Amino acid sequence: MPDVSVLNVQLYSDTIGTLTHVGGDRTIFAFTESYIENDQRPTLSLSFKDAFGGLITDIPATQRRVAPFFANLLPEGTLRDYLAERAGVHVEREFFLLWVLGRDLSGAVTVVPADGEAWPPKTDSAPAKSVEKDRANALRFSLAGVQLKFSAVKNTGKNGGLAIPAQGVGGEWIVKLPSTRFEGVPENEYSMMALARAVGIDVPETQLIDVEAINGLPEGIGTLSGQAFAIRRFDRTADGPVHIEDFAQVFGVFPERKYKQASLRNIATVLGIESGDESVAEFIRRVVFSVLIGNADMHLKNWSVIYPDRRTPLIAPAYDFVSTIPYLEDDSFALKFARTRKFAGFTLDELSYLADKAGLPSRPTLAVAQETVERFLVEWEGEKNHLPLARAAVETIDRHLEALPLVRDI
């Protein structure tokens, strides 16, 4: 393997920086001079913004890993293991994983080899033909996360459905396959997203689709049946990609710290400073909604900002709303609100405290919360028996709502 390898980091197809892998398994990220000198440069990440609004250019080298912004673009857990094996790279060598998967990342970022080599040198002794097939298979999983999901396109055939592109690029939908551990997760997510839309939250187009109607699923993922959840990608438009980043990237933390490194108060502070009143109100709606449905998994990577004008961050459309309490007995939110993680601790007083500490006006914040609770209760009572949601899940959410101080307060 060469002592030095270089990947070009592109934003909206323009090279704005390089990732350089050097001896000792170190990776160095640096912005290009043209990007640094451009006063109207598009924003790559708020994590590269200093206290005075300038660009941070002195970025420490990383060992075996890449900088947190880029690490958060990669899959996690067993999905990473699966892809690394098929790509012929070591699971912890993130530079080479980016080399393999960097052509269809979230947002408007692409990472491509500077010398044009499509693949890094393989690290095992498998036959070249086998490695080539596995690598093509690996490209179909290019999106971050731990769930089996793909970037897909609408199937124009007579049977409708979705199709997984052969090389994993260019998809306008994200498809999440059924869980092998928990029953009815796609139906759950579809139901929660429908409820969110009904209470006024910004939700992309979603649909349930039979697994059998998905063409081109990669080999080696096992036999799956039932329904998959599909959501239209809000970082892809007819005019090209739109840049996004999640709050693990914003705060510059590695994915494994997504439950521990920050609080909702910290997110609210950033939105209040960078994004304005509409994004803050939308954030409050989503916090309240997540408490009401019992979603204990709204970690840093499930909150994102989007850059419609390429420079100014706004809260991105909602995703990953799942009622987790039917599957796991958990009375705590993924992140601390301000002083507590407990669902029962999310009272109007806790919300008022969060607003005060985040520099948000308390009265409008509480008004948004009250409206959200009232709208949710009306929609839930009217739709809970008509959603594709298991009866046991409905009953669990009902018991959860009855016990919530937030509901009683309002």
The burial of 55, by beta-carbon neighbours within 10 Å (0-12 exposed, 13-18 middle, 19 or more buried), is given as middle
Residue 10 exposure: Cα atoms within 13 Å on the Cβ side: 15
- Are residues 219 and 313 both part of a single domain? no
133 found inside a domain: no
Same domain, 205 and 332: no
pLDDT for position 377:
98
- Asked whether residue 176 is assigned to any structural domain, the reply reads yes
Q: For residues 350 and 398, state if they share a domain.
A: yes
Last residue of a domain, one of 202, 220, 237: 237
Residue with tokens 């909206």: 12
Average pLDDT of span 398-402? 97
Band of residue 127 on the pLDDT scale cut at 50, 70, 90 = very low
Share of the chain above pLDDT 70, in %: 88
Domain-terminating residue out of 219, 237, 255: 237
141 domain-assigned: no
Query: What pLDDT is attached to residue 166?
Result: 60
251 in the same domain as 230: no
Domain assignment present for residue 136? The answer is no
* Segments forming the whole domain that contains residue 52: 5-116
| 261 and 186, same domain (yes or no) | no
pLDDT at residue 352, as a whole number: 97
pLDDT tens, residue by residue, 252-284: 999 999 999 899 999 999 999 999 999 999 999
Q: Assess whether pLDDT exceeds 60 at residue 137.
A: no
The model's pTM: 0.92
More confident call, 367 vs 93: 367
- Summarised one tens digit per residue, pLDDT across range 11-28 is 999 999 999 999 888 999
Q: Quick check: is 235 catalytic?
A: no
Give the pLDDT of residue 220: 59
What is the C-alpha separation between 125 and 129, in angstroms, rounded?
11
Per-residue pLDDT for 384 more than 50?
A: yes
Domain count across the chain:
3
CA distances from 104 to 69, 74, 172, 220, 236 (A): 15, 11, 11, 21, 11
Instruction: Kindly state whether residues 287 and 194 are assigned to the same domain.
Output: no
Considering the domain architecture, whether residues 259 and 340 belong to the same structural domain is answered as yes
pLDDT at 134 over 90: no
What pLDDT, on a 0 to 100 scale, did the predictor assign at position 90?
82
DSSP 33: H
Residues 273 and 164 in one domain: no
Look at residue 137 and tell me if it is in a domain: no
Stretch 324-349: mean pLDDT, rounded?
A: 95
User: Residue 319: inside a domain, yes or no?
Assistant: yes
Confidence at residue 153, expressed as pLDDT on a 0 to 100 scale: 84
Q: What number is the average pLDDT over the span 118-144? A: 53
pLDDT score, position 171: 80
pLDDT of 126 strictly over 50: no
What pLDDT score does 213 carry?
A: 87
Token representation of residue 176: 């999440």
The CA-atom distances, in angstroms, between 29 and each of 68, 91, 200 are 11, 20, 40
Average the pLDDT over 360-385 and give the result: 97
DSSP strand E in 12-139: where?
A: 14-22, 26-31, 62-63, 109-113
- Whether 298 is in a domain gets the answer yes
> Is the Cα torsion angle 74, 80, 82, 83 positive or negative in sign?
positive
pLDDT of residue 128: 45
Region class of 29: left (phi > 0), else alpha (psi between -120 and 50), else beta: beta
- For residue 215, name the pLDDT band (cuts at 50, 70, 90): confident
End position of a domain, from candidates 237, 262, 285: 237
**Cβ distance 47 to 69 under 8 Å?**
yes
Q: Are residues 299 and 340 in the same domain?
A: yes
Q: Is 279 helix (H, G, I), strand (E, B) or coil?
A: helix
Do residues 95 and 165 share a domain? no
Catalytic one of 235, 246, 297, 320: 297
Residues 232 and 257 in one domain: no
Helix axes 185-198, 362-383, angle to 10 degrees: 120
pLDDT tens, position by position, 232-259: 999 999 999 999 999 999 999 999 999 9
More confident of the two residues 125 and 387 = 387
Domain assignment of residue 59, yes or no: yes
Helix, strand, or coil (residue 300)? helix
Contacts by 120-125, CB closer than 8 A, 24 or more apart: 120/1, 120/5, 120/87, 120/88, 120/89, 120/96, 121/1, 122/88, 122/89, 123/88, 123/89, 123/90, 124/88
Instruction: Indicate whether 272 and 403 sit together in one domain.
Output: yes
The predicted structure's pLDDT at residue 118 = 61
Across 8-22, 207-221, 379-393, least confident range: 207-221
Q: What is the CATH number of the domain that holds 277?
A: 1.10.1070.20
